[in-house]
Amino acid sequence: MIQLQNISKRFLSNVVLDGVSLDVQDGETVALLGPSGVGKSVTLKMINGLLKPDSGDVIVDGLHVPKLKRHELAELRSRIGYVFQYGALFDSDPVAENIRLGITNEDQYHDEAYWKERVKECLRLVNLSADVADKYPAELSGGMKKRVGIARAIAGKPKYLLYDEPTSGLDPVNADVIDGLIERLRDELGVTSVVVSHDVRGSFRVADRVALLWQAKIRAVGTAEEILASRDTAVQQFLERDLEMSLIQAEGNQDRHGA
Amino acid sequence: MELSYKEEVGVGALVVAGLIAFTIFMFWLTGRSITSKGVPMPVEFKNVSGLKSGDPVRVSGVKKGRVAGVRLDRVGRVTVTLLLDPDPGVRPHVDATAAVASADFLGAKYVDYNPGASDSLLPPGVPIKGVTEEQFADVAARAATSANELIGNVNKGLNAAELASDIHNTLLATQHGMRALTEVANGPAVKQTQQTLAALERVMQRLDTLLGASKVEKSGARLDTLSANLTQLTTRLTAATGSLKSVLDKMEKGEGTLGRFATDTMLYKNLNATLTSLTALLTDLRERPGRYINVKVF
Amino acid sequence: MAAVAGALDLVRYVGRWGSRPAQHVLGNAGRFTYLLIDLMRGLTEWRVYLPRMFTQATHIGYGSLFIVLLVAGFAGAVTSLQTGYQFTGSLPLYYAGAVISESMILELGPVLTALILAGRIGARYAAELGTMRVTEQIDALESLGRSPITHLLLPRVIAGILVIPALTMFANATGIVVGYLTAKGSLGLTYADFEYGARYFFRPLDLWYSLIKSYCFAGAVTLIPCYIGYNTQQGAEGVGRATTTAVVSASVTILLLDALTTKLLLGVK
């Protein structure tokens, strides 16, 4: 279980988060929705301790993340898979080594039979063929990089998965593939996920609950239906603008297919 | 993993090669060889004037070994271990001798070793007596005294013959001093040189005045040569004193090898020139003493 | 009152301008110290950094070999020619041997090598780590519960400390050999004279000094760019700035260390 308790964070004079609280139950997928630059990624990085809140507490599995010692944090992180926005693949290593580095158990990492098998399995889980393993990140397309990023995040069999903008920068087809992947991993691996996104449609599809982050605070939390039914003007405004964008994109695609 | 095994070998090769380069350097530059096939021979010296291990041992000017170690037993006794080449021709006889000699002006030393010609060989392990060269300090002090005496005599206006022999002695002593200077470059001895040169300079100035006065009356070609020689000598002595002083200052401050080079070149040049002038003057005096007396009488 | 207020303003003004660079310097010093402590702590995890260290050492060692030897060769040749130019006629020829070997071992070998490697290895390290920082690769490593110190920094630092002294010794050797060959060609210096001169002014301390210096420089060439690259901020521009800063500060540090080691090791005798 992930608990964010009243966390605040500012960078210089810019308040990014102001008293944000959110609970994520085990087995649940929560989407953190909001326009760019409202501190969604910052929130995500606080969950695995890459950033520390100025005030408030982050509790994962009963551990107070900001107060953890170095080795405790490393141990906790091995239970949290983090999918970075642009993949953040180690570009000096081939895909296989990238995924292998995701194997957080040091003995398994050095066990050649185990890690080769695990790399294959993870590639299969993200719908990539086994021959991708020998390629370097620079040879991969954007969508493939994201999928390798996901494969790396799940290689250590994490309990939690944190997705930072998993579909941004992808065309709608690839975005759908990734969304499908998130659903599938939830079902197959039973992981607890937090998905940070500004893509309303995708979030509604993959998430059990959606939290809308607006001007450094959580404006609304609930299931897709509850959010859509919300009378809050800010929520309405955000949803309308984004759904419009989606519609335009969808139309554009249909036009292309028609012609 | 196979790949990184290759890398390990590569890196290992690089580092080991670096280590080997270092070791070879050390052996080459200290003049040691890995297979030490030299024959050790102890020599007892009173004073080794800065001899250090690695310096060559020469027999009649041919390198036949090196100094393996210098150990101070007590004040006035230094045991130097020579490592002689395994050449039967250099095995020490009972009358073998060794002396510390200077290879050049800048303080490089070597051991001048003479295996001796006696019928019986020296038993191994028995030290031979090292001959200590006449110390520069003594020579310089003598030169200074003699120069001062000369000035005193000139001032008292003693007779010409005595004055001439005085000057002659001074010049000889100075020349000896100069020679010695080229052999002992470091240490407190050099300070004495400064005194000597200062004294000598005063002599030369005086001589110059004397000669200048006499030149007006007795303007002979031969006199001119002598006078020119002396003038040249004076100028050079001044220059030499100057550079010697700066070297001494630097030595006192303890500046390193390379820092010394620039000034040493100057000093070396000056002293060399001075020596040449002195020699020329002395030759002149020895060949034509009459001309010298002539000047004195004026 | 106004005067007091004005004076206070002035103090505040001066204070602000004075304290910012001071904070900057002290802050960097503190973070650098933390980094050093982290590096020390990470030393126990040899299983992580050793294989990566070999990869780095191969890259920087063999990659830099040619340029280092080239520069050292030229340095030796030029030293030799200049020695000939300055000394001919005034000093015995064998002094050229002393000047070539001593200047290569004491100064040119270690310092030139280090300066070249500051450009080659330092820039490489800073750019690599800077890019990894701005593309979140370092965060990714941390998010996997892995330490960037042992995975990225230690292999690089140890590779440098292992390889740079070796490269320095090669540079010394190349410089002296090329210097000798040049002197032989231009001055007619014989090997015997060369060896004689080289040995006369040599003390074993000189070579140790060269080695110690190269270790110090290896530290500067690797640690500073690693630190700067590791703390890169703000995108591609940040990477560019980190690379430049890394090379400049590594080079300046090398020169400072040069002065310091010379004073400490050869200064007072």
Residue % of chain A over a pLDDT of 70: 93
* Interface contacts (A, C; CB < 8 Å): 57
Residue of B293 and C29 predicted with greater confidence: C29
Per-state percent for chain B, helix, strand, coil, to nearest 5: 60, 15, 25
pLDDT score at C75:
93
> Cβ contacts of residue C227 below 8 Å, gap of 6+?
C31, C32, C35
pLDDT of residue C158: 92
pLDDT at B214: 47
Binned at pLDDT 50, 70 and 90, residue B269 comes out as: low
Residue contact A77–C144, C-beta within 8 A:
yes
Contact C204 B108 (CB under 8 A): no
Of C47, C140, C146, the CB nearest to A84: C140
In tens, the pLDDT along A72-97 reads 888 888 888 888 888 888 888 888 88
Sequence-distant (≥ 6) Cβ neighbours of residue A25 within 8 angstroms: A1, A192
Contact B15, C166 (CB under 8 A): yes
**Strand extents, DSSP E, A137-239:** 160-164, 192-197, 209-214, 217-222
Q: What is the DSSP letter of C266?
A: I
Interface with B, mutate which of C202, C208, C213, C261 (most B CBs under 10 A):
C202
Measured in angstroms, the CA of B169 and the nearest CA of chain C are apart by 30
Reduced to 3 states (helix: H, G, I; strand: E, B; else coil), residue B85 is: coil
> In 3-state terms, what secondary structure has residue A115?
helix
* A62 three-class SS: coil
Q: Could you report the per-residue pLDDT of B50-95, keeping only the tens digit for each?
A: 787 778 888 888 888 888 888 888 887 888 888 888 777 777 887 7
Which residues 84-103 of A have a C-beta within 8 angstroms of C?
84-86, 88-92, 101-102
Determine the structural domain holding residue A40 and report its residue range.
2-258
Alpha-carbon distance A230 to A114, whole Å?
49
Q: What is the pLDDT of residue C216?
A: 93
Using a CB-CB cut-off of 8 Å, the residues of chain B touching C106 are 258
Higher pLDDT, C71 or B292: C71
Contacts of C211 in chain B (CB under 8 A): 22
User: What are the chain C neighbours of A88 within 8 Å (beta carbons)?
Assistant: 135-137, 139-140
In which region does residue C199 sit, left (phi positive, over 0), alpha (psi from -120 to 50) or beta (all else)?
alpha
C-alpha distance from B114 to closest chain C C-alpha (Å): 21
Count the Cβ atoms, other than its own, within 10 Å of residue A165: 21
Nearest to B150 by CA among B137, B136, B162: B162
pLDDT digit string (tens) for A204-253?
Answer: 888 888 888 877 788 778 887 777 777 777 777 777 776 666 666 555 55
- Mean of pLDDT values over A108-125: 83
Helix (H) or strand (E) holding A80: strand A80-83
With contacts defined as CB-CB under 8 Å, which chain C residues touch B103?
200
Q: Which amino acid is at B132?
A: T
Q: Report which of B133, B116, B125 is spatially closest to residue B59, judged by C-alpha positions.
A: B116
Give the separation between CA B195 and CA B188, rounded to whole angstroms. Answer: 12
Classify strands B97-102 and B128-131 as parallel, antiparallel or unpaired. Answer: parallel
Best of C62, C200, C214, C266 to substitute, by most chain B Cβ atoms within 10 angstroms, is: C200
User: Torsion angle, CA of A118/A124/A127/A131, rounded to 10 degrees?
Assistant: 80
pLDDT at B285: 53
Phi, psi angles (nearest 5°) of residue C231: -100, 25
Q: Nearest chain A Cα to C45, which residue?
A: A106
| For range C87-101, the mean pLDDT | 76
- Per-residue pLDDT at B103: 65
Within the 161-180 window of chain A, which residues sit less than 8 Å (CB to CB) from chain C?
A: none
* Chain A contacts in chain C segment 36-55 (CB below 8 A): 47
d(CA A149, CA A155): 10
The predicted model gives B24-50 an average pLDDT of: 76
Residue A173 scores a pLDDT above 60: yes
Give me the pLDDT at residue B143, please: 54
Closest C-chain CA to A74: C145
The total domain count for chain A is 1
Instruction: Name the minimum distance, in Å, from the CA of A251 to any CA of chain C.
Output: 33
The verdict on a CB contact (< 8 Å) between A78 and C142 is: no
Tens-digit pLDDT profile for residues B9-25: 888 888 888 888 888 88
pLDDT tens digits, C104-153 = 888 899 999 999 999 999 999 999 999 998 888 888 888 888 888 888 89
Mutate which: A60, A101, A165, vs C, most C CBs within 10 A: A101
Name the average pLDDT for chain A. Answer: 81
- pLDDT attached to residue A88: 85
Note the pLDDT of residue B146: 57
Q: Would you give the DSSP letter of residue B151?
A: H
- Angle at which helices C204-230 and C235-261 cross, to 10°: 160
Compute the distance between CA of residue A66 and CA of residue A61 in angstroms, rounded to an integer: 13
In this structure, what CATH number is given to the domain that contains residue A139?
3.40.50.300
Arithmetic mean of pLDDT over chain B: 64
Which of A185-199, A214-228, B220-234 is the most confident on average? A185-199
Q: How far apart are CA A86 and CA A102, in angstroms?
A: 17
Question: Tokens 């107060």 — which residue?
Answer: A67
CB A188 within 8 A of CB A125: yes
Q: Which residues of A are less than 8 Å from C140 in CB distance?
A: 82, 84, 88-90, 152
- C164-190: per-residue pLDDT in tens? 999 999 999 999 999 999 988 887 788
Q: Would you say the ipTM is above 0.95?
A: no
**Is-contact C247 C225, C-beta < 8 A?**
yes
Closest CA to A58 of A83, A38, A35, A80: A80
State the smallest CA–CA distance between residue B46 and chain C in angstroms. 23
Q: Compute the radius of gyration of chain A from its Cα atoms.
A: 19
Among C55, C106, C163, beta carbon nearest to B4: C55
Chain B residues 87-126 with a CB less than 8 Å from chain C: 103-104, 106, 108
Query: What is the chain A residue with the closest CA to C140?
Result: A88
Chains meeting A at 3+ CB pairs closer than 8 A?
C
Cβ–Cβ under 8 Å, residues C199 and C216? no
CATH 1.20.120 fits domain B136-297: yes
Output the average pLDDT for chain C.
85
- Collect all residues of chain C within an 8 Å Cβ-Cβ radius of residue B25: 105, 169, 172-173, 207
* Residue-level pLDDT at C227: 92
CB count, 10 Å around CB of A220? 18
User: Which residue has better confidence, B83 or C212?
Assistant: C212
Taking contacts as CB-CB distances below 8 angstroms, the residues of chain C near A90 are 132, 137, 140-141
Is A155 within 8 Å of A75 (Cβ atoms)? no
pLDDT tier, B107 (very low <50, low <70, confident <90, very high otherwise): low
- Subunits with 3+ Cβ pairs within 8 Å of B are C
Residues of chain A in contact with residue C142, where contact means CB-CB under 8 angstroms, are 50, 77
Cβ-Cβ contacts under 8 Å, A65 against chain C: none
Cα(C156)–Cα(C138) distance, rounded to whole angstroms? 15
In degrees and rounded to multiples of 5, residue B5 shows phi and psi of: -65, -40
Q: Which two tokens stand for residue A6?
A: 């009243």
Comparing alpha-carbon positions, the chain A residue that sits nearest to C38 is: A70
A196 touches A83 (CB < 8 A): no
Q: Does C145 touch chain A (CB under 8 A)?
A: yes
Q: Identify the burial level of C7 via C-beta atoms within 10 angstroms of its C-beta, where 0-12 means exposed, 13-18 middle and 19 or more buried.
A: exposed
Assigned token pair, B243: 């550079």
